[in-house]
Amino acid sequence: MNRAFRAVPSVEEPVVGVRPVRTERTAREELLAMQRRLVEKIRREIAGLVRREAPGLGPSLAEFARRTARYDRISTRDELVDEVASAGVAYVGDFHTLRQAQQTPVRLLHEVLARPPFARGERRAWLALEMVRARDQAHVDRYLRGELSDEGFLRATRWAESWGFHWPSCRIVLDFARRRGVPVMALNTEPARGARDPMEARERSAAGRIAAWCETNPQDLLVALFGELHVPEGRLPRLVAEALARRGRERRAVVVYQNVDRLYWQLAGEGLEHIVDVLRLRDGAFCVLNATPLAKLQSHLSWLERTGSPERFLPWYEDGSDDVDLAELVADFARAIASFLGIRAPRLDGLEVLKADDLEALRRAVPPALLPEAELALGTTGSAFLPEAGAILFASYSMNHAAEEAARLLAAREARTCPPAPAGGEDGFYGLVWSKALGYFGSKVINHKRLCYKERDYAQYARRPDGEAGIQKIRPVARRVLSHRDAEVSFLAGAPFAQPFRAGRMDGVVRVAVAQALGHMLGDRLYDAMILEFVPKAEIRGLFRRPVSAPGAAREAYLGLVKRLQYVTEFYRSRWDRL
């Protein structure tokens, strides 16, 4: 899609002396203003926790700001993959608390390995990781060979002390390397006590290892995932180039920055933040934008509030909480979504917001009759909204899940009805689909970079071979999603809707997963329709207030919205369209 939205002034470059023509802002402009308010609120909270700047951070911040001040032109995923595939070393900037930042090198390598030189075995791709100490290289090798379990690896590397950031996000990278046979080089070191610039000392150590690798593997590609302040061209890449020059060698390098706030707001000023996810900054430098400034900062704030943060070991950190306050997060998101839609903010008195590992609180809040439903939803989707119990449950912290459940809560209270339980036959199934659609829409209000699986993705899953890991669980979901979408196509062509399956007879996990898939796709399209000014906010308010508890009402609401949105152009047609 090449459509740009009406440009709004950049937050960093306000337009002065221009008389506005319109008196009402578009939904997109309102969302940008809301995001700015939330970002500033989080910045203040972070400033209250981090009292002192880390040694050597000032020069790194200045270099990062200088190198990411502006962009040359809009790029594409394919151009970036081609640039990485033709390089000798690709430096990918990591924002350690943001899961999307660790997923980017995995997605890049997935595409790179399909390029002919790699697919034919003429070149080999390697990973180099800051998240593991160089002295733990043997443990990395054993883990990749399957000789160490997750627990064994964490103990052997003393993960909580040596790195400590969210292990599941890091495991994604190592799991990919194991599956695809990608060798991994550990890069991190501990600077000597009293080092004047600990950051540069670590960079020099990493540069020596990378330069030695380049000399030994002249035909291969190394993708190095290192902290975002280390990867500007004047930092780690320069040190590697100098080390290679001393050896009489050179290698072409590409730097991939991620989610630079300044560049995001520049795109917002041009009306492009929804449709652009790769920028070319200059020759050999790109920026991937797969998260909003709000999502990035919220991940950092949530990390600071967590027990076990590595910054607890640093003298400038002051602990403010034992854990993420999920109740406050849900309340903030519910108020923000309500304010945006122009509806009354919900009263949250008595609402229980719990993590699944708090078993005592879980048993106290959830009646025994609802526990099977709660366990089913948590195990399948990672979160659960139980309006009968006045509870929202999370398997683990997730900003997207918190925003989605906040929107589902808002819709239930606006419509003054409870979403039917997943086990409630066809009405229960479509009640869950409808609730998930509005929930996903609400999560996009908070984080418009969130991606869902689309019909094209499920078609790929349906065709994958039996031996592929996890396919036996995914394929039944994919086939039912596709059969339902086929029935929708016939319905839109004028035929009566023919129910493709009996929801009450499906396995519980499959039923919940299919309901989520259909709901998320519809909620995603509803959000696109609003941004494209196809559906006004007043109409969306009506959707949130629409009761769907009567027999057949939820299916009628779902099919009506499918018909309403049939001509809306989607911003993306597959999760793999974006990085």
- pLDDT band with cut points at 50, 70 and 90 for residue 378: confident
Residues in the chain: 579
- Which whole-number Å values give the CA distances from 261 to 44, 113, 195, 258, 475, in the listed order? 16, 30, 31, 9, 38
- Strands in 391-394's sheet, in edge-to-edge order, are 352-355, 391-394, 383-386
Residue with tokens 């719990």: 354
Distance CA 291, CA 167 (A): 20
Residue 77 makes CB contacts below 8 A (sequence gap 6+) with 111, 277, 278, 577, 578, 579
Token pair belonging to 448: 């418009």
Residues contacting 180, CB < 8 A, separation 6+: 109, 110, 113
Main-chain phi, psi angles of 312, to 5 degrees? -65, -20
Helical (H) or strand (E) element with 93: strand 89-94
pLDDT given for residue 1 in this prediction: 37
Give 197's Cβ-side CA count (13 Å radius): 13
Q: What is the pLDDT of residue 311?
A: 37
In 3D space, the residue among 184, 186, 181 whose CA is nearest the CA of residue 121 turns out to be 181
Please say whether the beta carbons of 565 and 434 come within 8 A.
Answer: no
pLDDT digits (tens, 9 = 90+) for 421-466: 554 689 999 999 999 999 999 999 999 999 999 999 999 999 888 7
Which helix (DSSP H) or strand (DSSP E) does residue 226 occupy?
A: strand 221-227
Kindly report, residue by residue over 218-238, the tens digit of the pLDDT: 999 999 999 999 999 999 999
Between CA 330 and CA 340 the distance in angstroms is 15
pLDDT at 343 over 50: yes
CA distance 304 to 323: 9
Give the number of other CB atoms < 10 A from CB of residue 381.
19
Residue 553 neighbours by CB distance under 10 Å: 17
Taking the C-alpha atoms of residue 5 and residue 28, their distance in angstroms, rounded to an integer, is: 8
More confident residue, 74 or 303: 74
pLDDT at 43: 93
DSSP strand pairing (73-74 vs 278-282): antiparallel
* pLDDT score recorded for residue 4: 45
Contacts of 347 (CB under 8 A, 6+ apart): none
Alpha helices in 312-370 (DSSP H): 326-341, 359-365
**pTM of the prediction?**
0.88
pLDDT at 24 over 90: no
Q: Determine the angle formed by the axes of helices 399-415 and 326-341, rounding to 10 degrees.
A: 60
Alpha carbon 224 to its chain centroid, in Å, reads: 20
Mean pLDDT of the region 146-161:
95
Taking residues 211-217, report their average pLDDT.
97
Q: Note the pLDDT of residue 2.
A: 37
What is the Cβ-side half-sphere exposure of residue 235, based on CA atoms within 13 angstroms? 31
The percent of the chain in helix, strand and coil, each rounded to the nearest 5, is 55, 10, 35
- Residue type for position 450: R
In angstroms, what is the C-alpha Rg of the chain?
25
Query: Strand, coil or helix: what is 288?
Result: strand
pLDDT in the model for residue 367: 81
Residue 21 has pLDDT above 60, yes or no: no
Please, which pLDDT band fits residue 8 given cuts at 50, 70 and 90?
very low
91 φ, ψ to 5°?
Answer: -100, 120
Q: How far apart are CA 2 and CA 147, in angstroms?
A: 49
